[in-house]
Structure 1
């Protein structure tokens, strides 16, 4: 293994996070070499995920004042985080000095709410893509979007792609390829239904029904949050 400079990674973990948004890139970034990786929340108490199990924070906000990489995952819990000034203040503080400000899925909306995506190109889950503009970000429909030191990934599984892209920029392409091989990341999904333009009408309708049930009025809620934070929506 080459000698690598030390690097620190801080993931925001919060109630009702989509765990794969976090655990996918964490698996990749944990192999950066000479890395310290923390899951950060208000307390060290277990944090429930959307998958029915909890994750255990390794540090609290007070214990992490700086990280080389900050990463915010997504999930329905982001609506609460965007209205939580304690959490937003931590994201702002750490993001202001981080070398890399990153997100997966709707975690980019949290970065936006913290004021960290103004004037930056970014992406998020396809169902929330247009909401990035509420926070003065520039929505780009790509799986991974890089704009200066902002690197954002699309929905859920794109977190692995995002993390490999980040590794390549930090440790070089050879090391990123080494990690890809080590985790045997060679996806061949059994169905071609992973984006709205490929999914059939019944599948799309079923998904939107889920969104309406789990987060009714989500678009208007996010717009209202942005307006309350001083963005011109």
Structure 2
């Protein structure tokens, strides 16, 4: 670990703000940590809600990170075939201690070729897409596989961040942050997963997300084909 722990999270148009702001709140409580919000340019970025987020550093100026994190949201589909984003992630992954994601950010890691052969989790509606990038889906709130730490959908970002703090520092540091945030979930309904939500609610949500699932499927097909072509080209270039 570097003297000043460098943690960077991608900010991009239509990011799900809680994927980002949950972990940011946790990481901001770390002693000696510098938290970066990274994008191509320093300019306001619209989230998927009323909140507008401002990056703190560009890809070009970003230092080598100890932790790189990709949050999710509808905008992550646009990153699956964004050469500049994927190249940045691959560069950072070479020196990062942990390569991480929340929600559908894991698909972006996959599109960058960073999840092949790793167990990973994501939002329940995107779980089946992980195999397109050679990842092994893990239906768990947080998944740790060597240097890859991935979180499930949206609210799992807080669980992910606290888990990562325990790996970077220790359990007591993570517990102290949890207590300060009074993170003591007691949801009013047991509808937080397809396994526990009423069948009619699950059916309603699945119907509602059909168009976005179709768009994501098309983006992933292109990303998978591009990644396969890159790998074939790399093998052909080997002496």
User: Smaller-chain TM-score range?
Assistant: over 0.9
SS in 2 for 1:11: strand
Unpaired segments ≥5 residues, structure 2: 232-239
- Asked if 1:126 is matched to 2:124, the reply is yes
What count of residue pairs does the alignment treat as equivalent? 229
SS in 2 for 1:189: coil
List, as ranges, runs of 4+ consecutive aligned residues in structure 1 with deviation greater than 4 Å. none
TM-score, reference length from structure 2: 0.92
Of residues 21, 39, 42 in structure 2, which corresponds to 1:44? 42
Decide which moves more: 209-218 or 172-181. Answer: 209-218
SS in 2 for 1:103: strand
Question: 1:42 and 1:151 mapped to 2: Cα distance?
Answer: 24
User: What CA RMSD, in Å, does the superposition of the two structures yield over aligned residues?
Assistant: 1.5
Tell me by how many angstroms 1:80 deviates.
Answer: 0.5
Q: Could you tell me which residue of structure 2 aligns to residue 222 of structure 1?
A: 220
Q: Residues 76 and 105 of structure 2 are in contact (CA less than 8 Å); yes or no, is this contact kept in structure 1?
A: yes
Question: 1:184 and 1:5 mapped to 2: Cα distance?
Answer: 29
Of residues 1, 9, 12 in structure 1, which corresponds to 2:10? 12
Question: 1:93 and 1:33 mapped to 2: Cα distance?
Answer: 26
Give a deviation string over 1:16-53, Cα, whole Å, max 9, x none: 00000000011001112101101000101101100122
Of residues 57, 71, 75 in structure 1, which corresponds to 2:69? 71
TM-score, reference length from structure 1: 0.94
Question: 1:52 and 1:212 mapped to 2: Cα distance?
Answer: 23
- Asked if 1:194 is matched to 2:192, the reply is yes
Question: 2:102 and 2:216 mapped to 1: Cα distance?
Answer: 18
Question: 1:88 and 1:54 mapped to 2: Cα distance?
Answer: 23
Unpaired segments ≥5 residues, structure 1: none
Q: Residues 65 and 93 of structure 1 are in contact (CA less than 8 Å); yes or no, is this contact kept in structure 2?
A: no
Question: 1:217 and 1:48 mapped to 2: Cα distance?
Answer: 20
SS in 1 for 2:48: coil
